[in-house]
Structure formats: C-alpha cells, structure tokens
Chain A
Amino acid sequence: MNSFPMEWYFTALMMFVGFYCMLASRSIVRQLIGLEIVSKGAMLALLSAGALANNLVFAQALVLTLIVIEVVVVAAGLALLVKNFRVNGTSDIWKLDSLKG
C-alpha cells in the first residue's frame, strides 16, 4: 500500500455529490436519489477497506448484507414518499412545514 488507493477519491466524490444533490434539490424524490448516492459511496469505502486489509471475502459478505438492507430502507422511503404525496399533495420539501413551534 504505497500509493493512496484511487477508490477513496471516488468515495469522497460520491458522498459529496450525494450530499450536494440532497442540499440543492427541492423535490423529495431527488433527495432520496441523493441519499442513495451517499450510501453507495459508503459501500465502496467498505469494499475498498476489505481489499486493503486482505479481508475481501468478509467485506463482500458485509456489502451483500448492506445491499439487502438498502432495499428495505429504499422501499420504506418510497412508501413514505407515495403516502406523503397522497396525504399532503406535494413532493416539495419546503412545503412540509405544518409542524413548528
């Protein structure tokens, strides 16, 4: 491990892109997509760490588990989006302001 591995640049880049996507967009769907990009960056980091620590099999097992969890979380998130659109009639995050005090 002489040079800094390339994947970590991509990890940083993906997490930045994801967070930027979350910050810059008003639509909830786009925010969910940004969230997904962030978590994909984190997964890439895990895989890369496994390869560098000579423990790739373990890391692959973890990433497979993570993908399954992702599916469940995305399903829950999308269900929330649909429910929000039915109940509140909007997908604009700035219009969600009925709770305050």
Chain B
Amino acid sequence: MDKGLLAYLLIPLLSAVLIPFAARARRRLADVIANVTLLAGLANLAWLVLRPSMISGGFADIPGDGLTLLLVGAVYLVGFCVTFFSAWFMEDGTPNRQAYYSLILVSVAAMTGVVSATDFFTLYVFIEVLAVTSFALITTDDSGRGVEGALKYFFLTFPASALIILGISILMLTLGSLSFDNLRIFMASGVPSSGPVTFGAALMLLGFLIKSGVAPFHTWTPDAYQGAYAPVSAHLAGIVTKISGVYALIRMAALLHFFDGRALALSDLLMFLGMLSIAVGAVAALRQKDFKRMLAFSSVSQVGYIVLAAGLGTPLAIMGAIFHLFNHATFKTVLFLNSASLEKSAGTTDMEKLGGMEHAMPWTSWTSVVALLSTAGVPPLSGFWSKLLIILALWQAGLKTYAVLALLFSIVTLAYFMVMQRKVFFGKKSRAAEASAEVSAPLLAPAVLMSALIVALGLLFPYFYTYVRMVAERILI
C-alpha cells in the first residue's frame, strides 16, 4: 500500500460506517455527510496538486508515482458529482438513502485502495470489494431491469476473479512474491525463461480484460449500464469499471515492459483486442435506439482506445492511455448524468421519442454536446489531445494500420454522436420536449462543472501534459 494516501481510503470508510447511525432519524443528514466527506477530500487533493509552487516546479514533488494521485483525484471528482447529483435526484422514501450513500462511500474507498495498491493481492482484494458494492448499487431502485443488469454483471465478471487468482498463484510460484516491484525487476532483468511469468500475467490480463468490458467480453457492459439506477450508471461508467479493469491493465502494461519487447505476444493480444473493442463498440453504437445503451457501447469503444495504447506500452502511448482514462471519466460522467436528467424530466431515454430537447432543456443539451464532441475528439476539447497522443504513439511505433484504423473509428464515433444529437437535442420539438422543462440548478451543477473541466483541460493542455509525462516517466522507470 502507498501509505501517503491512506487517509483518502480511511475517511470515506469511516463516513460510510457513520452514516447509518447518524442519519437514522434525519434522512437528509446522509446526503450532507457523504457530500462533505467527498468535497473535503477533493479540496485537499486540489491543494496538494494545484498550488502554484507545485505547478511551477513541474510537479516534481508529487508523492508516489503520480498515477495514484491523479486517479484518486478522478475518483473523488466523479464520486462527488454523483453524490451531489443524487442528493437532488432522489425522491423521498425510495430508495434507502443511508444504504445508498454508505455504498457509494465504500466504493470510493475501495477505488482509492485499488489505485494505491502495490501488490497484486491487495489489488485483487479491493477490486472484489468494489465489485460487491457495485452489485448492490446497480439494484438501488429495485426495478426488474436493475436486478437483471446486476445479475449479468455478477455472473460474467466473477469468473474473471478466479482467473486473476490463478494468475496470482502462478506468479507466486515463479517469482516467489506478489509485489509490483518484483515483477518489474524480473521483466527488466535479462532472465531468459520468462514463459511461466508471462503465462501468469496473461491469465491476470484476461481477468482484467473481462472486468473492463473489452470486446469480446463486453456483453455485460450495456446491460449493467442501462439497467442501473440512473446516477449509479454515471458512477459505474465514469469510474468504477475503469478503475477495476482498465487501471490494472495500464499498470500491468507498464510493469511488463511492453515497449522493450519482452512479452511481445501479450502486447499484440492487448492491441488486437483494443482495436476489436473500438470497432465493435462503434459499430454497435450506430444502431442503438436507447440513449443510455448507446452511451454504454460508446464506453466500450473508448475503453478500446485505452487498451490499444496500454498494449503498445511506449512512454507516449502510456501517457495517452492515462490521459484518455481521465478524460473518459469526465465526459462519460457528464453524459450519463445528463441521461439521468432526461429520464427525470422527459420520462424516457428512448431516442425515437425524444427530439428538440435543446428548446426545453438548453443546459442539459449544451453540456452534453460539449461532452460528445470531446468523446469524438474534436479540438480543442480534452478528448482531442488524448486521442492525438494515442494515434501519434501508434504511428511512431510503425503500426500504421492500427493508427489509420483508430483514426477512422474516431470518425465513426463522431458519426454516431451526430446522429444522436440530431435525434435527441436538435430538430423539431417532439411531444416529450413540449412536456418537459429544464431540471433544477443543483442537478445541472455537476454536468456544468465537468464540462468546464473538459474545456479547461483542453485549453490548459501544456500543464496537464507536464503532469502526465512525469507520471509516465515514473511508472516506466
């Protein structure tokens, strides 16, 4: 464990224990405690990273490897947006507020644990805690669809845990220890027989690929995201599946030293599956009728970009992967929160019934459009820079086919989002748009905050580039 960030794990856990007792008589107290906990953590992190002396020093004083801190920041940011949104989204009575906020805080604590783990077993334990909280969170509103999504999530991702354990046991057999450093040293040294270690790593990578919903293991992703309780789907798509699967993939890609060609088969496999995922997600998203389901397939496609870059494993590609992971957290949170607003106001997320929502809900529409353009990689928004880094890294490594395909599917992304924008936000006012009104300001605040962040990250790219380069240098040593 990275001890410097232990407080970010323990304090949400403490609040989670506190909430059921403190908020028994006064229900709204649960909202307050959860929001204050996460906001305090966020303010603390912002002070740690964004104080002027730190920025002018090129972020050289960041503790640990920098990736942990960045992702703890992302976890707190998305967690805060989701709790703030849910505080105003939930109707009185249903669902059970105390249980809901406790679970959200436990899941934030578990994600902090995942990103600050320094050995595979700790990583595994926190991933399991995270998975259990997600099953419970998906079924928050007791709907049939929620239970169905959670069951599919459970049955399709839990075998992945068994594969991870099998991989861990093979690593233990061959390396004698499970720490990240041990694997890094083994891969960096010139020991010739790396077969068993590669096999163990392959099993673990397979588990993490299933958990991150990469094609052909993506079948649970749309069901879980579509069925989940509306704010939970933002939490799940924005950060939970990214931390439990994709983060581990990036970490393993860095540890296995893909760039010096030691585990070439694994690198090829990851890159192929990443490309497949980009293609499958984009093509499937083109023919979706439901807003949330289309976003879920787009999520599969965007995760493909991250996996493709992680599989390449050069410093530039790792930078692109980390940056895209962070961007994905910002734009998918905006989109899923806005889909929740649409569901609350217009009563449906079916794209055939929606239309002309920009007249009825201008703020929701325009924040969505910013996020959509960032996803599709339109300059100067943040999504453009991360995709540019990934494609440049592919081109630099001589993989011109992958680079061209990644660029082409980025255009397909733009295409399906254009279709969606025309169907949902622009065009003639539909009956749903006539009947619905803009949601209240507190429900808009998280989406506006995240959209501002998307624009700011795009415009202040040089600062963020310095940070991400520092991270990539540290984790690739």
Contact = CB atoms under 8 A, between A and B. Distances in A.
Contact of A87 (B147, B162, B163): B147
Interface in B138-158: 139, 142-145, 147-152, 154-155, 158
The number of chain A residues touching the other chain, given as a range, is 35 or more
Contacts of B438: none
A69 B148 CA distance: 23
Interface stretch (B86-94, B222-230, B258-266, B394-402): B222-230
B223 A99 contact: yes
B22 interface: no
A3 interface: no
Contacts of A65: 121, 125
A88 B288 CA distance: 25
Dominant secondary structure at the A interface = helix
- Measured as residues with beta carbon below 8 angstroms from the partner, the interface class of chain B is 35 or more
A17 interface: no
B158 A73 contact: yes
Contacts of B223: 99
Nearest to B223: A99
Interface stretch (B43-51, B168-176, B320-328): B168-176
B206 to A, nearest CB: 13
B173 A42 contact: no
B165 A39 contact: yes
A38 B173 contact: no
Contact of B169 (A39, A49, A88, A96): A49
B159 interface: yes
A99 B288 contact: no
Interface of B: 121, 125, 128-129, 131-132, 135-136, 139, 142-145, 147-152, 154-155, 158-159, 161-163, 165-166, 168-170, 172-173, 176, 222-223, 226-227, 288-290, 293
7 nearest A-B residue pairs (beta carbon) = A42-B165, A49-B169, A46-B169, A49-B173, A42-B162, A45-B169, A38-B162
